[in-house]
């Protein structure tokens, strides 16, 4: 299947099996009406960012899709807001176990900030926009389930920061990653300086940010900026395949392990070990732990419920 065929098939597939995601956890009627309206808008396939849930053999996977060819998936204020709504929705959807962030525009992941929109904003509005993007990408990084950026084409500026906010990054050979902000008289303002340096080390991060140099998928893999380069025509399929082993594990344990790692990084080793112990203790009384032990003894595959 070539890239064009893969994109067409993905557009057909997304939108199937969305009913489970429309559920809203609230007993308040006004909140329910508001939340349901917000959720429904996220399934609008004509929008610039929308959510789809997979079914069948891909059950448990949800996608956040960027689709705005005219701006190369630039991060407008509308898209930034919808991203936070999507993360909130997926956090409240117990059937979702992995999230893939993808582009449905051939040849680009995300070109970064919508500079044409920014030019029309006051300095205060520009600052507020970047602050909101930073906050929303932080929310993405704390999503309760693993997140994967499926990158096929340029990921620049805010687009690179979007990928950095994910747990994993899978890229095609034609992917390039860059942080051009210093060439524009600014700095990465939505997590780039912090997440990049933690991922590849401060020296390499400074070189990429200070120069604005773009790196190929091969170099990005070599320096640890991405997790895998895939030669397949459909990088989204490669991202789903990458998560197949995650989907076999206990979802609650995965969420707790993610918290243990991410929130432990900002602690001393002693405090981190204590934090790990607290989260481990939470697993002891879960149904999934009992099922895992039972399945091991019975020599069968466990059926986890996320409880």
- The catalytically annotated residue of 161, 190, 217, 260 is 161
Catalytic residue flag (residue 158): yes
Catalytic residue flag (residue 113): yes
- The catalytically annotated residue of 62, 86, 113, 150 is 113
Task: State the Cα–Cα distance between residues 124 and 133, nearest whole angstrom.
Answer: 14
- The catalytically annotated residue of 158, 189, 192, 292 is 158
Backbone torsion region of residue 64, taken as left when φ is above 0, otherwise alpha when ψ lies between -120 and 50, otherwise beta? beta
- The catalytically annotated residue of 53, 58, 117, 181 is 181
Task: State the Cα–Cα distance between residues 255 and 49, nearest whole angstrom.
Answer: 25
Catalytic residue flag (residue 181): yes
Task: State the Cα–Cα distance between residues 7 and 100, nearest whole angstrom.
Answer: 15
Residues belonging to the active site: 113, 158, 161, 181
């Amino acid at each position: 299947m070539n890239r064009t065929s893969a994109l067409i098939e993905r557009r057909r597939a997304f939108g199937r099996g969305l009913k489970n995601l429309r559920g809203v956890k609230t007993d308040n009627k006004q909140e329910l009406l508001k939340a349901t309206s917000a959720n429904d808008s996220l399934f609008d396939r004509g929008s610039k960012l929308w959510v789809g849930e997979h079914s069948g053999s891909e059950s448990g996977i949800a996608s956040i899709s960027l689709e705005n060819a005219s701006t190369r998936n630039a991060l407008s204020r509308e898209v930034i807001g919808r991203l936070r709504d999507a993360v909130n929705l997926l956090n409240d959807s117990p059937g979702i176990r992995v999230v893939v962030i993808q582009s449905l525009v051939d040849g680009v992941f995300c070109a970064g900030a919508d500079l044409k929109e920014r030019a029309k904003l006051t300095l205060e509005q520009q600052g507020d926009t970047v602050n909101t993007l930073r906050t929303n990408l932080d929310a993405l990084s704390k999503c309760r389930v693993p997140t994967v950026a499926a990158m096929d084409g340029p990921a620049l500026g805010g687009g690179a920061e979007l990928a950095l906010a994910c747990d994993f990054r899978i890229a095609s050979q034609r992917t390039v990653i860059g942080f051009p902000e210093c060439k524009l008289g600014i700095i990465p303002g939505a997590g780039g300086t912090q997440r990049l340096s933690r991922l590849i080390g401060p020296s390499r991060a400074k070189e990429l940010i200070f120069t604005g140099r773009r790196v190929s998928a091969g170099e990005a893999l070599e320096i640890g900026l991405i997790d895998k380069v895939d030669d397949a025509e459909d990088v989204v399929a490669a991202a789903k395949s990458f998560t197949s082993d995650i989907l076999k594990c206990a979802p609650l344990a995965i969420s707790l392990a993610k918290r243990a790692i991410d929130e432990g990084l900002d602690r001393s080793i002693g405090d981190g070990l204590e934090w790990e112990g607290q989260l481990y203790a939470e697993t002891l009384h879960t149904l999934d732990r009992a099922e895992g032990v039972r399945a091991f003894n019975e020599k069968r595959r466990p059926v986890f419920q996320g409880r």
